[in-house]
């Protein structure tokens, strides 16, 4: 029969059959299948390589008769030239499916930006690391690669990483080495999990060798730091003073929480999650340190009004940050004091000359200054190491394995002596302390 619209509309499937096939007399192979439910499907039957083949066009209603006939004529033309239209359709569908899969994979790869990778690395690979490391490593990578955060992680090249680390190394070679180590570890973790294929940090080169710092502030410089810190308001003023008095790491003091401090303000216990070596650390608080803490008011969350758990905070929700700006303000006050006491400058009664630290000093140098001064005061190096929470120091090797005494009383006396020295050099110059001329403050 020649297919016409009225004829197709009248086609039905005989009772008792699942479907029936009707063929068109005009285009050889053009057919329509009518099933028991009443649906009608256009198709094209032919032979290829001696085997019967069938090409499905679509359902009547979705396709008009004219459209289906045109498709059948095109398929018939391909068959006459030796083609396999059903095979071509299957191959095209497979290619489309594969392309969709590849595009989905690529979208997933591109979704893993440098920013997302640092977050996943921190929450997975670093979850058992100390709080300071798990926070500091991703933060430094994000800060120094800020313009690449939205780039797909796999797209970073060795040349780009090398150029960035070279820029950092010009002024901060140690920071560049730390960044290389952090980046290499992060991408190494990602490569093992097949998140990326290459590690762009592996073959970068940081020129020169790492030199251990040996900067120790003089007594005059230490006194100038203390006097400037006393002029600064909350939060950096008291923060700098406690940094000096406790000799703990910057991140540890900045993250100090009220529930880590005993009610009488005599002891501060830094939990293992916040220490560099992952061990709980007890810090004696000298009388000057207690006075600093006693002068502080509990801060509140600026949004919710809830009392903040942090001793030093600007938001009530997170510890203080912006240490570079804080240190610049500290040094500006020190410079003002130096200028006011310079020959020919304004004179103020009772003002002591100050020694402005030479350029290049860092907050971390206060720890070295403290332990060096303790040696001058006759305090044993094993006690000083315990004050700084060093895992390796005067007691090492087999002795470090078996020696578990914490020297808490000795550490308390050492920090009291150090506090006395700080106050002494802050009010006078030219003092060379000995164990005998430092007055230990009462606990």
* Structural domains of the chain sorted by starting position, each given as residue range(s) with its CATH number in brackets: 5-105 (3.30.160.390), 114-192 (1.10.150), 219-427 (1.10.443.10)
Cβ atoms of 158 and 203 closer than 8 Å: yes
Question: What's residue 107's pLDDT?
Answer: 72
| Cis status, amide bond into 235, omega within 30 of 0 | yes
At residue 55, the 3 state secondary structure works out as strand
Give CA–CA dist 232/316, Å, rounded.
Answer: 20
Model confidence pLDDT, tens digit, residues 259-273:
999 999 999 999 998
Q: How many CA atoms lie within 13 A of 207 on its CB side?
A: 9
Beta bridge pairs of residue 42: 32, 58
Scanning the structure block, which residue is given the tokens 């009388």?
287
* Tokens 């910057």, residue located: 250
Task: Return the ∠ at Cα 327 (arms to 321 and 331), rounded to 5°.
Answer: 165
Low-confidence ranges of the chain (pLDDT < 70): 109, 208-212, 344-360, 392-405, 429-443
167 SS3 class: helix
* Among 309, 312, 340, 311, residue whose Cα is nearest residue 326: 312
pLDDT value of position 345:
62
Beta carbons of 85 and 44 less than 8 angstroms apart? yes
Question: Is 0.75 surpassed by the pTM of this model?
Answer: no
Quote the CA–CA distance of 300 and 335 in Å, as a whole number: 33
Q: Of the candidates 336, 335, 371, 330, which has an alpha carbon nearest to the alpha carbon of residue 217?
A: 371
Q: List the structure tokens of 170.
A: 């010009």
The pairs formed by 49-57 with CB atoms below 8 angstroms and a separation of 24 or more are 49/84, 53/84, 53/86, 53/87, 54/86, 55/85, 55/86, 55/89
Query: How high is the pLDDT of residue 390?
Result: 87
Terminal-to-terminal C-alpha distance of the chain: 111
The backbone torsions φ and ψ at residue 270, rounded to the nearest 5 degrees and listed phi first, read -85, 120
**pLDDT (tens digit per residue) in 335-358:** 999 888 877 665 544 444 445 555
**pLDDT at 341 (0 to 100):** 82
Separation CA 118–CA 187 (nearest Å): 9
State the burial class of residue 435 (Cβ atoms within 10 Å of its Cβ: 0-12, 13-18, 19+): exposed
């Amino acid at each position: 029969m020649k297919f016409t619209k009225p004829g197709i509309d009248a086609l039905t499937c005989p009772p008792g059959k699942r479907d029936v096939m009707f063929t068109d007399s005009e285009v050889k192979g053009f057919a329509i299948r009518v099933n028991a439910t009443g649906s009608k499907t256009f198709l094209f039957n032919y032979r290829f390589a001696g085997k019967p083949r069938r090409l499905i066009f679509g359902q009547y209603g979705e396709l008009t008769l004219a459209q289906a006939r045109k498709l059948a004529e095109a398929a018939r033309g391909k068959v006459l030239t030796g083609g396999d239209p059903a095979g071509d359709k299957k191959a095209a569908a497979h290619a489309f499916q594969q392309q969709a899969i590849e595009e989905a994979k690529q979208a997933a790869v591109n979704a893993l930006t440098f920013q997302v990778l640092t977050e996943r690395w921190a929450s997975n690979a670093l979850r058992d690391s100390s709080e300071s490391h798990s926070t500091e490593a991703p933060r430094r990578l994000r800060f120094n690669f800020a313009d690449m955060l939205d780039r797909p992680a796999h797209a970073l090249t060795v040349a780009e990483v090398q150029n960035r680390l070279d820029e950092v190394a010009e002024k901060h070679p140690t920071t560049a080495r730390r960044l290389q180590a952090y980046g290499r570890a992060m991408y190494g973790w990602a490569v093992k999990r097949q998140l990326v294929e290459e590690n762009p940090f592996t073959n970068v080169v940081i020129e020169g060798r790492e030199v251990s710092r040996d900067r120790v502030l003089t007594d005059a410089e230490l006194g100038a730091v203390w006097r400037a810190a006393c002029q600064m308001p909350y939060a950096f003023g008291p923060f700098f003073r406690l940094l000096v008095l406790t000799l703990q790491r910057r991140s540890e003091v900045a993250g100090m929480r009220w529930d880590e401090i005993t009610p009488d303000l005599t002891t501060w216990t830094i939990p293992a999650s916040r220490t560099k070596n992952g061990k709980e650390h007890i810090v004696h608080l000298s009388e000057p340190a207690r006075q600093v803490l006693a002068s502080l008011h509990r801060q509140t969350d600026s949004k919710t009004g809830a009392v903040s758990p942090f001793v030093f905070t600007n938001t009530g929700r997170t510890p203080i940050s912006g240490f570079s700006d804080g240190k610049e303000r500290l040094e500006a006050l020190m410079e003002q004091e130096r200028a006011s006491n310079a020959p020919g400058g304004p004179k103020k009664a009772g003002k002591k000359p100050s020694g402005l630290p030479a350029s290049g000093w860092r907050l971390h140098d206060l720890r070295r200054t403290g332990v060096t001064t303790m040696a001058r005061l006759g305090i044993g190096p094993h006690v000083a190491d315990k004050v700084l929470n060093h895992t390796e120091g005067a007691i090492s090797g087999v002795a470090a394995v078996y020696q578990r005494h914490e020297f808490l009383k000795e550490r308390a006396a050492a920090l009291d002596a150090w506090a006395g020295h700080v106050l002494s050099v802050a009010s006078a110059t030219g003092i060379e302390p000995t164990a005998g001329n430092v007055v230990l403050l009462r606990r």
